[in-house]
Chains A and B, each alone.
Chain A
Amino acid sequence: MTEAAVETGAFTRTVTATVNGTARSADVETRLLLVHFLRESLGLTGTHIGCDTTSCGACTVLLDGTPVKSCTVLAVQAEGREITTVEGLAGPDGLSAVQQGFHEEHGLQCGFCTPGMMLTATALLAENPDPSEEEIRWAISGQICRCTGYQNIVKAVQHAAAQGKEG
Chain B
Amino acid sequence: MAATEEIRGIGHSVKRFEDARFLQGRGNYFDDIKLPGMLYLEFLRSPYAHARINSIDTSAASAVEGVVAVVTGELLAQHNLAWMPTLSGDTQAVLATDKVRFQGQEVAAVVAESPYIAKDACELIEVDYEPLEAITTPQRALEANAPVIRDEKEGQTDNHIYDWEAGDKEATDKAFAEADKVVELDTFYPRCHPAPLECCGCVADVNPATGKATIYMTSQAPHAHRTLFAIVAGLPEHKIRIISPDLGGGFGNKVPIYPGYVCATAASLLIGRPVKWVEDRTGNLISTGFARDYHMHGELALKDGRITGLRVKMLSDNGAFFSDAQPTKCKAGLFHIVTGSYDIPAAHVETAGAYTNKAPGGVAYRCSFRVTEASYLIERLVQTAAYETGVDPVDFRKQNFIKPEQFPYKSATGFEYDSGDYGAAMDLALEKLGYADLRREQEEARAEGRLIGIGVASFTEVVGAGHGADYDIAGLRMNDGAELRIHPTGKAVLKLSVKSQGQGHETTFAQIVAEELGLQPEDVEVQEGDTDHTPYGLGTYASRSTPVSGAATSMVSRRIRAKAQKIAAHLLEASEDDLEWDKGRFVVKGAPEKSKTIQDVAFAAYTNIPTGMEGGLEGVYYYDPPNMTYPFGTYAVVVEIDRGTGAWKVLRCVAVDDCGVRINPMVVAGQIHGGLTEGFAIAAMQLIDFDEDGNCMGANFMDYLIPTAWETPKFELGETVTPSPHHPLGAKGIGESATVGAPAAFVNAVVDALAHAGVRNLEMPVTSARVWAALQEANLAE
Interface on A for B, CB 8 Å cutoff? 4, 7-8, 29, 31-32, 39-40, 43-53, 55-56, 58, 85-87, 89-90, 95, 99, 102-104, 106, 108-115, 118, 136-138, 140-154
> How distant is the Cα of A50 from the Cα of B201 in the complex, in angstroms?
12
Indicate whether B144 reaches chain A with its CB closer than 8 angstroms: no
Residue among B24, B504, B677 making CB contact with A149, cutoff 8 Å = B677
Would A102 and B199 be within 8 Å (CB), given that A48-B248, A150-B712 are in contact? no
Would A142 and B673 be within 8 Å (CB), given that A50-B199, A111-B502 are in contact? no
Would A102 and B710 be within 8 Å (CB), given that A51-B281, A112-B249, A147-B502 are in contact? no
Residue among B16, B27, B281, B702 making CB contact with A46, cutoff 8 Å = B27
Contacts of A49 in B (CB 8 A): 31
| Nearest opposing residue in chain B for A45, CB measure | B32
Would A110 and B196 be within 8 Å (CB), given that A46-B25, A141-B708 are in contact? yes
Contacts of A150 in B (CB 8 A): 673, 677, 708-709, 712
**Which label, helix, strand, loop or mixed, suits the secondary structure of the B interface?**
loop
Residue among B66, B196, B501, B670 making CB contact with A148, cutoff 8 Å = B670
Contacts of B673 in A (CB 8 A): 148-152
Whether the pair A51, B700 counts as a contact (CB closer than 8 A) is yes
- Residues 297-341 of B at the A interface (beta carbon under 8 Å): none
Contacts of B251 in A (CB 8 A): 146
| Nearest opposing residue in chain A for B23, CB measure | A99
> How distant is the Cα of A31 from the Cα of B120 in the complex, in angstroms?
12
| Nearest opposing residue in chain B for A145, CB measure | B197
Indicate whether B715 reaches chain A with its CB closer than 8 angstroms: yes
> How distant is the Cα of A17 from the Cα of B676 in the complex, in angstroms?
42
| Nearest opposing residue in chain B for A142, CB measure | B708
24 cross-chain CB contacts under 8 A: A45-B25, A48-B197, A51-B700, A55-B702, A56-B197, A56-B706, A86-B24, A87-B24, A87-B25, A90-B24, A103-B16, A108-B22, A108-B23, A110-B197, A110-B246, A111-B27, A112-B196, A112-B197, A114-B23, A115-B25, A138-B710, A141-B710, A146-B195, A149-B673
Contacts of B31 in A (CB 8 A): 39, 45, 48-49
Whole-angstrom distance from the CB of A136 to the nearest CB of chain B? 8
Interface on B for A, CB 8 Å cutoff? 15-16, 18-27, 29, 31-32, 34, 64-66, 116, 195-199, 246-249, 251, 280-282, 501-504, 666-667, 669-670, 673-678, 700-702, 706, 708-710, 712, 714-715
Would A103 and B19 be within 8 Å (CB), given that A144-B701, A149-B676, A149-B715 are in contact? yes
Whole-angstrom distance from the CB of B508 to the nearest CB of chain A? 12
Whole-angstrom distance from the CB of B195 to the nearest CB of chain A? 7
Residue among A51, A111, A137 making CB contact with B246, cutoff 8 Å = A111
> How distant is the Cα of A39 from the Cα of B712 in the complex, in angstroms?
31
Contacts of B199 in A (CB 8 A): 50
Residue among A7, A56, A103, A154 making CB contact with B23, cutoff 8 Å = A103
Nearest 8 pairs of A and B residues by beta carbon:
A46-B25, A111-B22, A110-B502, A112-B248, A55-B701, A109-B502, A149-B673, A149-B677
Whole-angstrom distance from the CB of B706 to the nearest CB of chain A? 5
Interface centre among A50, A103, A138 (most CB of B within 10 A): A50
> How distant is the Cα of A138 from the Cα of B472 in the complex, in angstroms?
45
Contacts of B23 in A (CB 8 A): 86, 89, 95, 99, 102-103, 108, 111, 114, 118
Number of A-B contacts (CB under 8 A): 175
Whole-angstrom distance from the CB of A125 to the nearest CB of chain B? 16
> How distant is the Cα of A119 from the Cα of B748 in the complex, in angstroms?
38
Whether the pair B674, A146 counts as a contact (CB closer than 8 A) is yes
Residue among A45, A53, A143 making CB contact with B708, cutoff 8 Å = A143
Whether the pair B667, A106 counts as a contact (CB closer than 8 A) is yes
- Other A-B pairs, 13, CB within 8 Å; known A39-B31, A110-B197, A154-B709: A46-B25, A55-B700, A56-B706, A89-B23, A90-B24, A103-B15, A106-B667, A110-B247, A141-B709, A146-B249, A146-B251, A146-B706, A149-B677
Contacts of A89 in B (CB 8 A): 23-24
Whether the pair B709, A140 counts as a contact (CB closer than 8 A) is yes
Contacts of A95 in B (CB 8 A): 23-24
> How distant is the Cα of A52 from the Cα of B280 in the complex, in angstroms?
7
Whether the pair B714, A111 counts as a contact (CB closer than 8 A) is no
Whether the pair A104, B15 counts as a contact (CB closer than 8 A) is yes
> How distant is the Cα of A162 from the Cα of B251 in the complex, in angstroms?
34
**Which label, helix, strand, loop or mixed, suits the secondary structure of the A interface?**
loop
Whole-angstrom distance from the CB of B271 to the nearest CB of chain A? 21
Contacts of A138 in B (CB 8 A): 709-710
Contacts of A111 in B (CB 8 A): 18-19, 21-23, 27, 246, 248, 502
Whether the pair A46, B676 counts as a contact (CB closer than 8 A) is no
Whether the pair A149, B712 counts as a contact (CB closer than 8 A) is yes
> How distant is the Cα of A167 from the Cα of B651 in the complex, in angstroms?
36
| Nearest opposing residue in chain A for B714, CB measure | A151
Contacts of A154 in B (CB 8 A): 709
Contacts of B21 in A (CB 8 A): 111
Contacts of B710 in A (CB 8 A): 137-138, 141
Whole-angstrom distance from the CB of A159 to the nearest CB of chain B? 12
Contacts of A115 in B (CB 8 A): 25
Whether the pair A46, B26 counts as a contact (CB closer than 8 A) is yes
Whether the pair B670, A58 counts as a contact (CB closer than 8 A) is no
Contacts of A87 in B (CB 8 A): 24-25
| Nearest opposing residue in chain A for B700, CB measure | A53
> How distant is the Cα of A39 from the Cα of B29 in the complex, in angstroms?
12
Residue among B65, B246, B504, B670 making CB contact with A152, cutoff 8 Å = B670
| Nearest opposing residue in chain B for A108, CB measure | B22
Whether the pair B670, A137 counts as a contact (CB closer than 8 A) is no
| Nearest opposing residue in chain A for B711, CB measure | A141
Residue among B65, B116, B503, B708 making CB contact with A109, cutoff 8 Å = B503
| Nearest opposing residue in chain B for A104, CB measure | B15
Contacts of B195 in A (CB 8 A): 146
Whether the pair A109, B504 counts as a contact (CB closer than 8 A) is yes
> How distant is the Cα of A99 from the Cα of B26 in the complex, in angstroms?
13
> How distant is the Cα of A114 from the Cα of B282 in the complex, in angstroms?
22
> How distant is the Cα of A7 from the Cα of B120 in the complex, in angstroms?
14
> How distant is the Cα of A141 from the Cα of B26 in the complex, in angstroms?
25
Whether the pair A31, B282 counts as a contact (CB closer than 8 A) is no
Whether the pair A153, B24 counts as a contact (CB closer than 8 A) is no
| Nearest opposing residue in chain B for A88, CB measure | B25
Contacts of A99 in B (CB 8 A): 23-24
Would A144 and B674 be within 8 Å (CB), given that A7-B65, A46-B25 are in contact? no
Whether the pair A29, B27 counts as a contact (CB closer than 8 A) is no
Whole-angstrom distance from the CB of A110 to the nearest CB of chain B? 3
> How distant is the Cα of A104 from the Cα of B23 in the complex, in angstroms?
12
> How distant is the Cα of A152 from the Cα of B715 in the complex, in angstroms?
11
Whole-angstrom distance from the CB of A152 to the nearest CB of chain B? 6
Whole-angstrom distance from the CB of A28 to the nearest CB of chain B? 11
Whether the pair B677, A52 counts as a contact (CB closer than 8 A) is no
Whole-angstrom distance from the CB of B41 to the nearest CB of chain A? 16
Interface centre among B22, B31, B280, B669 (most CB of A within 10 A): B22
Contacts of A4 in B (CB 8 A): 65
Interface centre among B66, B198, B706, B714 (most CB of A within 10 A): B198
Interface centre among A86, A146, A148, A151 (most CB of B within 10 A): A146
Whether the pair A53, B281 counts as a contact (CB closer than 8 A) is yes
Whether the pair A48, B198 counts as a contact (CB closer than 8 A) is yes
Contacts of A29 in B (CB 8 A): 116
> How distant is the Cα of A46 from the Cα of B29 in the complex, in angstroms?
9
Contacts of A151 in B (CB 8 A): 673, 712, 714-715
Residue among B18, B65, B666, B678 making CB contact with A8, cutoff 8 Å = B65
Whether the pair A50, B666 counts as a contact (CB closer than 8 A) is no
Interface centre among B25, B702, B706, B710 (most CB of A within 10 A): B25
Whole-angstrom distance from the CB of A69 to the nearest CB of chain B? 12
Whole-angstrom distance from the CB of B506 to the nearest CB of chain A? 12
